[in-house]
Structure formats: structure tokens, C-alpha cells
Amino acid sequence: MTAHAQPLKPPSRLLFAMELRALPELGGFLASLPLLTALTPRGDGHPVLVLPGLATSDASTIALRRFLKSKGYAAYGWKLGRNFGPRIGVEKGMLDRVEELYAKHGRKVSLVGWSLGGIYARQLAKMMPDKIRTVITLGSPFNGDPRATNAWKLYEFASGHKVDDRERHMGGGISDSPPVPTTAIYSRTDGICAWQACRENDLPHTESIEVEGSHCGLGHHPSVVYAICDRLAQPEGHWKPFDRSGWRSVFYPNPKR
């Protein structure tokens, strides 16, 4: 678990207001599609389940899933409607979805989770590690104070659960890393979640990748999409940390505490 000298606080009002960047970031993604297509490696066809953030649905991950499909992956949405937290039936629905995709393809499933969806992804990997290939989280606040986000009150209202109860839900301790290769993508200018809470623990099979962008745009930010494709393209059983050498060092600096 990552220790913090002082309790984390939610991002400032200025950063929260800057979440409006998400729309131009989508435009940037669309404009960069030819370059992204040329630079990202081809996938091996394994299934990828993309989990949406709080109060959003599969509609929010369409751009990412379509791009992953264009690169050769079998990308899927979670098919559980809007993500209003761990309500009755959500845990079983996600477990069943992973089982379904694993059986359909006969291969381990990679999980990409945005915000709350990333917390689900990490917990699913703890519950069924034999069926999960890798986990990638986008701005998911699994470390530190659960109130270090500007969405914790919305979470409590939508889910009917207190944020202090999150350790009692699926998969055990939220901050514990899954036993599979895990990548946490985060932004220091995230206006929803404190970036410190979105970084992975320092273990041989985990890593954190910093990008510059909004929380609400992480699912279609060009740098994020590139990093996701790079991570998914690794041969199963041969995971290595993200390569930041060469031109990547400009866009993906080495993480700092």
C-alpha cells in the first residue's frame, strides 16, 4: 500500500473546471487517428473488456473499443448499463461477462477500466487471476483516502454505499495490487481524482504511466490510447515495463513521487 504523509485532498476547483478539456481531447484523438494507427502495434486478437466510469455507460468507451477492434483485438463493453456503483447484480454481472468472453475465445481476457471501472478491473483480477491476462486502469483512485476525489458524494448517492465501505466489496483490499501485470495510467492535472491515488504500487509486475490530460478525456486521449495498445500487444506471459526511451520520453516521463 502506498503511504501518504498527509491525507489526500480532491483536485482543486480550477482543475475541476479544466475537465472541459475532454471535448477537445476527443477532437485530438480523431485528428490523430492516422498517426495512432501507424504507430501502434497490431493486436493478437485476444479479448479485451472495457469497463466504464461512474455514472457512464458503454457509450463512453465506444471510441476506444472501436480503435482496439481496428487493431485486431476482440474489444467488448460490459453490457450492464450505467455504472452506478456496486449495486445488486453488478458484481455477478461482471464475473459472468469475463467467464463468457473467456469461454468464447478460449483465451485470457485483458481488462481496461476507466475511473471506477478500473477499480472493478483490479478487483476482478484478484478474484479470477487464471482468466485475466492484464489490467489497465485510467485515472482510478484505488490508493489513499477514498474522499480524495470530486466524485465521492456522487458515488454514495448513486450506489447507496458509503465510500468507507469499499473494502467490504468484491475482491478484498482496494489498494492491494492484482496478481497479474497491471498498468495504472494517470494525470497530474486530473480534475476528478487526486493523481496520487491513481498510481500503482511499486511491484515487479506493476507500473504507472503519466500523461497530461483531463480525467473525463482519458478514454480517448491519444497518449492514453497509444499506451493501452502498447501494453495490450505484449505477448502473454512476457510482460515488461513500458519503454520510455527515445521519443516516448517526451510524452511519458518517468514517474515521480
What pLDDT does residue 257 have? 62
| 237, pLDDT greater than 70 | yes
pLDDT of residue 165: 81
Q: Output the average pLDDT for the chain.
A: 94
| Predicted pLDDT of residue 6 | 64
143-171 per-position pLDDT tens digit: 989 999 999 999 999 999 898 887 777 88
Top-confidence residue, 213 or 6: 213
- Could you report the per-residue pLDDT of 59-114, keeping only the tens digit for each? 999 999 999 999 999 999 999 999 999 999 999 999 999 999 999 999 999 999 99
Nearest to 239 by CA among 186, 194, 179, 198: 179
**For 19, which DSSP code?**
G
Q: Which three cell numbers stand for residue 134?
A: 492484464
Q: Which domains occur in the chain, in start order?
A: 13-233 (3.40.50.1820)
Cell 483536485, located at residue: 11
Find out whether 98 and 128 touch, Cβ atoms under 8 Å.
yes
Residue with cell 476525489: 149
| pTM as predicted | 0.95
What are the cell numbers at 49?
A: 473488456
User: Residue 166's pLDDT is what?
Assistant: 77
Distance between CA atoms of residues 178 and 222, nearest Å: 26
Residue 1: per-residue pLDDT:
41
5, pLDDT greater than 70: no
User: What pLDDT is stored for residue 116 in this prediction?
Assistant: 97
- The tens digit of pLDDT for each residue in 165-202 reads 877 778 889 999 999 999 999 999 999 999 999 999 99
